[in-house]
Amino acid sequence: MSLLCSCWRWHKNSEFSQEEHVGTVSTAQRKDVLGPPSKSDMAADALLSTLEIVAETIPFPAVGTAVKAAVRLIEICQQARESFEQADELKERVRGLSLVLVQGLSGKPVEEITDSLKRDIEQLQEDLHYIEEKLTDILKQHRILVILFKNANEEAVQKCLKRLDGSLSSFEFSRQVQNATVLKKLENDIETYYRTLQATWRNTEEMKRSIEEIKAILRNYNPEFRQEIKSTSRKPRFPPRSRIFYGRDELVNNLAKKLVPALNDTEQVFLALLGTGGMGKTSAALAVVEHQLVLERYGASRFWVPCEKATSFSLLLDILYDSLCINKKTGQTLDDILTELEPPSGKPALQPYRLLLLDNFETPWNLDSQREVEKLLLELMNISRLSIVITMRANQPPTDQKWEIELIKPVDAEASVRIYTEIYPKTSTKGLYELLDTATPTRLLRDWRLEGPDVLTTADDGADNMINKSIALSIDKPPMSKSTDALRLLNLLAFFPAPLPHEHLAEYWVPETINQLKAVSVLSNTALVELTDATVFVIPVVRSYIVRRTLQPDLAATRAHIHRVCCSLLALHKSSPGDNSYVADKAFILSQEVNFQSIILDATSEPKANVSPEILEALLTLSWHQCWTRPRLDLVEHTLSVAKKALNAKYEAESQACSAEMYFLLNQFDQAIERVSLAHSQFHLFTG
């Protein structure tokens, strides 16, 4: 049932209760009933309406009926406050019992609700009906009779309290009320309900304060929730600069001045640092954005976007979203980014000066979706007071806009010697100068050609010929040619677009037949992987070469192994919010979400791919993970499409349910209602 429908029903019931009560109370009481509700009353009503919504999702209808009866009973108690002293106590007892009932059964399948518990719930319905009749009879009494029979009325209420105590003792799950996860879920439901009420009662500030009081209560009960709320604030991050950085001072100073022109000249600068790989474009760019002049102009509004992991347009958007610390969450990542970067409406002067560093931009630029990437770049360039710096392995900038172009050249001989001796302190400085004076790039190129591989010749197949031959030079010669383990490990790593932790590589991914230590050492020596203390990574251009050039039987075997391990890991970490292992499982999936998504998409991208139930389960696990962390629609829609093509009714229904929850969290209620209806119908067909 949609939240909007619940809001309508809540208003309707409230109006009916007031009209019915007008005929049975005095003029003074009518004024009290029709007056504005107190903060505590509004907060309690929000809580009860939320409980009604949650109760209707429990697959035992008697629960929803009981909660509705409890809501009516609480309204009667509110009206009868002046008739007997224990009305408030009875009201709080009913509210507490409703909370225990819903929290204990929320999320349980009907098979787990025992017959004895069903009987207890049905008995609770009868008790609430009995109490409702008793209190209604009391309210219908004339005021004189209320005074005369006050003691008798109080005794009747006392009997009602005892009946409720008996019902409460029947539920063994009351201990779950203090469970922190349940409290957090309840807080999320109340916040969602509050947002809907805010749209209806836009000018009611009293309601906002009431909901904030409920949130404060929940935080007091759950310190872990308080800590998680505080930890959500994010700040732009930059990688640490290398301490070995020589020969670029003049370049850095000149580039910093270009980024900080006179304010009356221009409010935007577009700077492209271009050149071949290994020239130090990233190091120079990081030095520029940390220059004092740049700090004074842009301050904390400087953002580093590592584009080397952006192996698809959607991944580029995700990386941009995280790097810019965007807070808006509608599920439309591009719209969220642009909306938050745009200046306040009609007030461009309030826009801060911001600097965006798109590092290694050649990765997304060389994708098949180049038009989408170009459109994104142009939209960013149209945002006032947003300056952009890009680094690319290229000789031309990516668009026809007016770029300040800087081709990064090699450092001079003196700086080269300082860099080399910093890395290898025992090296003879004199010998290095002699080598630099004699071994010119031209001679090195001639020697390379004499050895055979024409690595710099452009063939008919275009620009990738030079790149492929450069990579082949490392792969086809020692030490790679003498190490089958290194080649097998490189084939395996080519399936991971993001850095992979060493411990994960050893524990989960590498077969026992591969000597990992030797293989990693060879790959490091040939510069085919990037190693840190914690991770190993293959750059995109090498990954692409390996996937395209490896023999199909070998590639198919590696791919099957990767898919199998990925499905197994996701199956081991597919817990839900509230499970004991959920926090640890969420952290594990988050740490490798990019890799898991890439592998699962690889397994399902081919139209004729044979999709196993394990692959479908992995897709669904990852979709639910995104639903519970940062809702976005791309993966769950892909999951639904794959399930339909596989003609798997079970996973199609579960995918519909997941997408319904995703739309609901994104406040797209019409789509949520449509998807949950489809899921409901398909589950009925599937279960017979």
Mean pLDDT computed over 412-428: 76
Residue 411 clears pLDDT 90, i.e. is over it? no
271: β partners: 389, 404
pLDDT-derived band at 584 (thresholds 50, 70, 90) equals very high
Q: In terms of pLDDT, which residue wins out, 471 or 147?
A: 471
| pLDDT band at 393; cut points 50, 70, 90 | confident
Residue 356 has a pLDDT of 94
pLDDT of residue 601 exceeding 70, the answer is yes
pLDDT at position 622 is 95
CB-based contacts of 59, cutoff 8 Å, min separation 6: 108, 109, 110, 113
> For the chain, what percent of residues have pLDDT higher than 70?
64
**405 pairs with which residues across the strands?**
272
Which pLDDT band holds residue 252 (cuts at 50, 70, 90)?
Answer: very high
| Residue 225 token pair | 């929730």
Could you tell me the CA-to-CA distances from 194 to 55, 260, 281 in Å, in that order? 18, 45, 50
| Residue appearing with tokens 């002699």 | 434
Given a cut of 90, whether residue 95 has pLDDT beyond it is: no
Task: Report the run of H or E that residue 315 belongs to, with start and end.
Answer: helix 313-323
Average of per-residue pLDDT values in the chain: 75
Distance, in Å, from the CA atom of 540 to the CA atom of 462, rounded to the nearest integer, reads 18
CA-only gyration radius of the chain, Å:
33
Q: Given this model, what pLDDT does residue 542 score? A: 81
Cβ atoms 228, 266 nearer than 8 A: no
Between the alpha carbon of residue 241 and those of residues 284, 285, 324, the distances in Å are 10, 10, 20
Across the beta sheet with 404-407, the strand order is: 302-306, 354-359, 386-393, 270-275, 404-407
Which amino acid, 537? F
Enumerate the β-bridge partners of residue 359: 306
411/409 Cα distance (integer angstroms): 6
Neighbours of 411 (CB within 10 A): 18
- Between 191 and 4, the more confident residue is 191
Higher pLDDT, 85 or 613: 613
Q: Please, are residues 236 and 369 in contact by the beta-carbon 8 Å criterion?
A: no
- Which domains, and CATH codes, for the chain? 3-229 (no CATH), 249-407 (3.40.50.300), 483-687 (no CATH)
Higher per-residue confidence, 600 vs 176: 600
Q: How many CB atoms lie within 10 A of CB 172?
A: 12
> What pLDDT, in 10s, does the model give residues 504-560?
998 999 998 999 889 988 887 776 788 888 899 888 778 877 887 778 888 889 999
pLDDT of residue 70: 76
Residue of 456 and 118 predicted with greater confidence:
118
Please report, as a single letter, which amino acid is at residue 45: D
Helix axes 370-381, 333-341, angle to 10 degrees: 20
Taking CA atoms, 89 is separated from 80, 129, 139, 160, 417, in Å, by 12, 18, 17, 11, 84
Please say if the pLDDT value at position 309 is more than 80: yes
Q: How far apart are CA 186 and CA 51, in angstroms?
A: 9
Q: Which residue has the higher pLDDT, 251 or 189?
A: 251
Tell me 608's DSSP state: T
439: confidence class by pLDDT, cuts 50, 70, 90:
low
pLDDT digits (tens, 9 = 90+) for 626-643: 999 999 899 999 999 999
74, 97 in Cβ contact below 8 A?
Answer: no
**Straight-line distance from the first to the last Cα atom of the chain, in angstroms, rounded to the nearest whole number:** 23
Per-residue pLDDT, 626 = 93
Of 130-144, 207-221, 377-391, 557-571, which gets the smallest average pLDDT? 207-221
- Give pLDDT, residue 239: 83
Q: Which tokens is 560 given? A: 């099957």
Integer Cα distance of 524 and 538 in angstroms? 10
By the 8 A CB rule, do 456 and 489 touch?
Answer: no
**Greater pLDDT, 441 or 269:** 269
Return the exposure string of 186-197: e unless at least 16 CB atoms fall within 10 Å of the residue's CB, then b. bbebbebbbebb
User: Residue 336 and residue 631: Cα distance in Å, rounded?
Assistant: 12
Cα distances (Å, whole numbers) of residue 438 to 343, 384, 423, 432: 57, 51, 22, 10
CB burial readout 208-245, b (16+ within 10 A) else e:
eebbeebeeebbeebeebeeeeeeeeeeeeeeeeeeeb
What is the distance of C-alpha 19 from the center of its chain? 47
**Cα gap 366→359, rounded to integer Å:** 14
Give me the pLDDT at residue 277, please.
62
Q: Is the pLDDT of residue 169 over 90?
A: no
Note the pLDDT tens digit of each residue in 637-683: 999 999 998 888 889 999 999 999 999 999 999 999 999 999 888 88
Highest mean pLDDT: which of 30-44, 222-236, 294-308? 294-308
Q: What's phi and psi for 407, nearest 5 deg? A: -85, 120
pLDDT value, residue 320: 92
8 pLDDT band, cuts 50/70/90, is very low
- Please tell me which residue, 84 or 604, carries the higher pLDDT value: 604
Dig out the tokens for 254 from the structure: 């000149």
Residue that is written with structure tokens 């080519």 in the block:
494
pLDDT at position 29: 41
With cut-offs at 50, 70 and 90, classify the pLDDT of residue 178: very low
Residue 122 backbone dihedrals phi, psi, to 5 degrees? -65, -40
pLDDT > 90? residue 392: no
